[in-house]
Chains A and B, each alone.
Chain A
Amino acid sequence: MPSSAFAEELVALLPRLRRFAQSLCGDASLADDLVQLACERALKARETYEDGTRLDAWVFRILRNAWLDGLRKKKTEGISEPVEDVIGLSGEDGRKVAHVSIAANAVMEAMGRLAEDHRQVLTLVCVEEMSYREAADALGAPIGTVMSRLSRARKALAAALGLEEGESPLEGADAGGS
């Protein structure tokens, strides 16, 4: 049976999803578990994906939520519970899946609205993949300046994209104390 176009789009995103997950949790093979879980949730929730928006941003958010979900579960309940409850193999009952929709050109538009020095440093480090040292040399600025601009620029970008709403997958569910 051929798989759907949606599934194939997820497959095409795998290299980026894996890199994203690896950055989040710092280990390649554990990151793959996270990617797999996120893709499963994405497939289940596919009807909530809006055509014409960035699928990558949508799945990144699902993956991020799955990661936070796991951290919170671990913290509140320890490790002595069936694995299916922890990692949500059996579905997301009671779990709110937080979604984001980012229009295809929204990131570039948001970049365009950032302050010039913020846009520059984001471009050098995140788009051109320069190291902090290289970016500092390119800008003729101290590395500390690069670092503070970079973190402020990212917060500004996230705010412009609506990523800062603090959506959490367990919000409103029986997450227990935190």
Chain B
Amino acid sequence: MDVTKISDERLAALADGELPAEEAAALRAAIAGDETLAERFALFVETRELLAPEPRAAADAGHDRLAAAIRAADRPHRPALSVVEGGGPARPAPRATPQPRLAPRFRVAAPALAACLALAVGGLLGFEFGRGGTTTGSAGGIAAVPGAPGADVALASALERTPSGEKLSWTDDAARLHGAVSIVSTHRLDDGRLCREYEVSVDGRDGGVVGLGCRRKDGGWLTEALARNAGGSDYATASGLSVIEGAIERLGGHGALSETEERDLIAKNWKALR
């Protein structure tokens, strides 16, 4: 598509929801690949929204999640525990409020959504994303240990191969850090997805990270929820785990899979009957 030939009328029509789905998708793909076109398009969206009346949409889980994130980010300082939730409303906190960390939900996007792809799955820490069914996925675009991609490599590998209850150690020479990844449990959600609860620790540091990685259809793992337990705080270290357990429950999990079932899944490279 020659982007210079895309008319203002078509861009405005896309902003106004007047284009047929197929044409809209093609145009969005062109916009994702051309900054000038994206700016031209944004102008039509922006002018519409400045004039538009308040939407009548009812508040939903997404709204609640965002509202919680805004209020949390509004606080002058961050508590030691921060949380990324993979979706759904923020859970009421037991005592100290876990702060929803301002990170997007990590999810797989269809190619037509490329315009937003960079935001949602931007970094896969050196791994190719969703191409050619590679089995070395990553933990889903979030740095378990910021600045130490070695931890993420180990995490991706542990999610793929390590039975629950076992540890895999990692080192990151560049960051001069080392630690371990352990898998806590494996779950099958109502929607058929297979998810694994994990912990990542850094030697010499308290706390660490607990998370929930879910197997993507095209291979690799996506972190759906993450909680950080920083040491030296008055938060119970168990709080991170309880956040993850809450996330599993909310996503539709019902208790961990048996050792046999898990071994079977690992042996079959997670090609479960869905």
Residues of A within 8 A of B (CB): 1, 3-4, 6-7, 10-11, 14-16, 18-20, 23-37, 39-40, 43, 54, 56-57, 60-61, 64, 66-68, 70-75, 79-87, 89-90, 102, 107, 111, 122-123, 125-127, 129, 131-132, 147-148, 150-152, 154-155, 157-158, 161, 163-164, 166, 168, 178
User: How distant is A114 from chain B, measured CB to nearest CB, in Å?
Assistant: 11
Question: Whole-angstrom distance between the alpha carbons of A3 and B74 in the complex?
Answer: 6
Chain B min CB distance to A174 (Å): 16
- For B166, the chain A residues whose CB sits under 8 A away are none
Contact A60 B43 (CB under 8 A): no
Of chain A, the residue at the smallest CB distance from B29 is A26
- Residue pairs across A and B with CB atoms within 8 Å: the count is 256
In the assembled complex, the CB of B95 is this many whole angstroms from the nearest CB of chain A, namely 14
Chain B facing A: main interface SS = helix
Interface size on B, residues (CB 8 A): 77
- Within the assembled complex, what's the spacing in Å between the Cα atoms of A80 and B101? 22
Q: Is residue B261 contacting chain A, with contact meaning CB distance below 8 A?
A: no
Q: With A3-B71, A39-B66, A131-B18 in contact, is A26–B112 under 8 Å at CB?
A: yes
- 14 A-B contacts (beta carbon < 8 Å): A10-B70, A23-B17, A23-B45, A30-B117, A33-B119, A34-B116, A40-B73, A43-B74, A70-B122, A87-B123, A147-B13, A151-B9, A152-B8, A164-B43
Asked if A30 meets B119 with Cβ closer than 8 Å, knowing A64-B42, A151-B12, A154-B48, the reply is yes
A71-B35, A151-B8 given as contacts; is B74 within 8 A of A30 (CB)? no
CB-defined contacts of B66 to chain A, threshold 8 Å: 11, 14, 18, 32, 35-36, 39
Interface 1/0s, chain B 220-260, versus A by CB < 8 A?
Answer: 00000000000000000000000000000000000000000
> A39 and B69 in contact (CB under 8 A), knowing A60-B49, A74-B118, A163-B43?
yes
Q: In the complex, are the beta carbons of A20 and B118 less than 8 A apart?
A: no
Fill in one digit per residue for B108-132: 1 if any A CB lies within 8 Å of its CB, else 0. Answer: 0100111111111111111111000
Whether B122 and A24, one on each chain, are in contact in the complex, defined by CB atoms closer than 8 angstroms, is: no
Shortest C-beta distance, A62 to chain B (Å), equals 11
